[in-house]
């Protein structure tokens, strides 16, 4: 794509606390820089642009700023007539043009995923006092209540977990008490993937199984946190790169003198990425629950229905009947579903050849995988991969 030519390349400061290493910072930066490269900007990371504004009161040091905007930064930028765009939903500054994640939509996405898996009990674990956590909870709870269910909520102070985590023991005790109030099986949405791992440790200590007793959906799709150790985490890709790209596009319009709407722009989440933490359907029948757990743990090993029956310790006719009553599909169909979910994850997150994807998911070969995937999903796996791996829209 050709870069737009400017008489003078705009200097844009990008202040996002990238040293934290989370996707919400790194991918927003990547999205900003993608637009900057296309637009011919001189975009660069700056940890504290307000310092340079203070140091050069007569000559603005930047043509624009994209940042997690603080009150001081906003005030100085306004005084220096520097356009600024905020990407931090929890910022105390309200009168700055902003681009945010549509976290209400992420809550809806998580709730619909868990409802579709048969759960009738729900929980939410999130930050106390944070706007983004409250908004996500609203979206999640709206769907749960619409379906006629309630939602148990546990929220905690972010500061209790930062630095030396002096509030750690209190946090663990609080989570333990919350878990004791549940009546599993339950589906839980967590405001960040890292806290899913903390929650899983508490669940293990109490003898609860993920995903059979507790299905967990995380937020942000931090691959390194989600993929290991087992169980891998189902998580929502918030689309942070798009937030950065849209924020840069908004700043571009501002630097060109265009008027920006007073209301924030919201970017929809990319997708919910299913993994092991929600692989199983909720089942009140203990026999079906054991079958679902066995399928979740061994579905990629080329197992057949007879092996599921043997693991449960019953006869096939009895298990098939109870399975259909509880889950609404056959045992073979559930094995296929689990394999397809595993294949989808590998196709989206890796560039592995389709043959490797097929074998890793438990299919006989690539041809068998191609036929089954196309029949169930309605599109071939190659098209599915292409559509899911597109990180940015075409620029007009």
350: CATH: 1.10.10.60
Band (pLDDT 50/70/90 cuts) for residue 1 is: very low
Same domain, 30 and 142: no
**Chain Cα centroid distance, residue 160:** 23
Nearest to 242 by CA among 273, 269, 271, 221: 269
Going by their DSSP bridges, the two strands 271-273 and 234-237 should be labelled as antiparallel
**Which of 278, 299, 329 is the C-terminal boundary of a domain?**
278
Ramachandran angles phi, psi of 393, nearest 5°? -75, 165
395 inside domain: no
134 inside domain: yes
User: Domain range spanning residue 19?
Assistant: 11-100+240-270
Same domain, 167 and 226: yes
Going by their DSSP bridges, the two strands 214-219 and 186-190 should be labelled as parallel
Residue 306 is classified by DSSP as H
232-278 pLDDT, tens digit each: 999 999 999 999 999 999 999 999 999 998 899 999 999 898 888 99
195-230 pLDDT, tens digit each: 999 999 999 999 999 988 899 999 999 999 999 888
CA 194/CA 162 separation, integer angstroms: 12
**Which of 278, 298, 329 is the C-terminal boundary of a domain?**
278
Instruction: Write out the two tokens for 221.
Output: 């799709």
139-177 pLDDT, tens digit each: 999 999 998 999 999 999 877 777 677 788 888 999 999
Backbone CA torsion sign across 21, 25, 31, 37:
negative
| 224 CB neighbour count, 10 Å cutoff | 9
2 inside domain: no
CA 20/CA 9 separation, integer angstroms: 29
Residue 5 has pLDDT above 50, yes or no: no
Instruction: Write out the two tokens for 46.
Output: 């700056």
CA 391/CA 396 separation, integer angstroms: 16
170 inside domain: yes
| CATH code of the domain covering residue 258 | 3.40.50.2300
Same domain, 92 and 116: no
**pLDDT score recorded for residue 7:** 56
Question: E-strand spans in 147-233?
Answer: 151-156, 186-190, 214-219
Please answer whether residues 291 and 323 qualify as being in contact, where contact means their C-beta atoms are separated by less than 8 angstroms.
Answer: yes
Range 313-317, long-range pairs (CB < 8 A, 24+ positions): 314/287
Helix (H) or strand (E) holding 258: none
Same domain, 112 and 154: yes
Band (pLDDT 50/70/90 cuts) for residue 17 is: confident
Same domain, 95 and 244: yes
Beta bridge partners of 101: 267
CA 359/CA 247 separation, integer angstroms: 41
70-91 pLDDT, tens digit each: 999 999 999 999 999 999 999 9
Q: What is the mean pLDDT of the chain?
A: 89
| 130 CB neighbour count, 10 Å cutoff | 16
CA 394/CA 11 separation, integer angstroms: 24
Instruction: Write out the two tokens for 77.
Output: 């930028």
321 inside domain: yes
CA 43/CA 35 separation, integer angstroms: 9
CA 58/CA 199 separation, integer angstroms: 52
70 inside domain: yes
């Amino acid at each position: 794509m050709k870069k737009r030519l400017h008489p003078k390349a705009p200097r844009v400061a990008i202040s996002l606390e990238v040293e934290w290493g989370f996707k919400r910072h790194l991918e927003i930066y990547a999205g900003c820089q993608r637009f900057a490269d296309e637009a011919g900007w001189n975009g660069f990371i700056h940890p504290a642009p307000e310092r340079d504004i203070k140091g050069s009161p007569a000559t603005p040091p930047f043509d624009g700023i994209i940042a997690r905007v603080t009150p001081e930064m906003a005030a100085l930028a306004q005084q220096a007539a520097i356009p600024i765009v905020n990407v931090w939903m929890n910022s105390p500054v309200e009168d700055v043009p902003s681009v945010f994640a549509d976290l209400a939509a992420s809550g809806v996405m998580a709730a619909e995923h868990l409802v579709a898996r048969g759960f009738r009990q729900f929980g939410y674990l999130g930050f106390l006092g944070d706007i983004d956590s409250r908004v996500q909870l609203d979206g999640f709870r709206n769907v749960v209540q619409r379906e006629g269910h309630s939602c148990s909520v546990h929220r905690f102070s972010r500061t209790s977990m930062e630095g030396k985590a002096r509030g750690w023991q209190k946090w663990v005790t609080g989570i333990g008490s919350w878990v004791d109030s549940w009546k599993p099986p339950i589906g839980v949405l967590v405001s960040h993937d890292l806290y899913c791992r903390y929650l899983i440790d508490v669940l293990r200590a109490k003898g609860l199984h993920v995903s059979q007793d507790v299905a967990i959906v995380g937020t942000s799709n931090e691959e390194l946190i989600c993929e290991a150790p087992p169980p891998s985490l189902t998580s929502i890709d918030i689309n942070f790169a798009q937030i950065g790209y849209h924020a840069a596009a908004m700043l571009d319009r501002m630097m060109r003198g265009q008027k920006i709407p007073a209301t924030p722009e919201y970017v929809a989440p990319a997708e919910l990425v299913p993994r092991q933490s929600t692989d199983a359907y909720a089942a009140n029948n203990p026999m079906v629950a054991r079958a679902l757990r066995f399928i979740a743990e061994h579905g990629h090993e080329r197992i057949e229905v007879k092996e599921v029956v043997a693991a449960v310790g019953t006869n096939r006719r009895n298990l098939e009947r109870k399975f259909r009553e509880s889950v609404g599909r056959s045992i073979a169909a559930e094995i296929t579903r689990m394999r397809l979910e595993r294949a989808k994850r590998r196709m989206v997150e890796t560039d592995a050849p389709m043959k490797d994807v097929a074998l890793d998911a438990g299919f006989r070969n690539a041809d068998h995988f191609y036929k089954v995937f196309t029949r169930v999903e309605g599109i071939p796996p190659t098209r599915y991969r292409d559509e899911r791996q597109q990180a940015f829209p075409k620029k007009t």
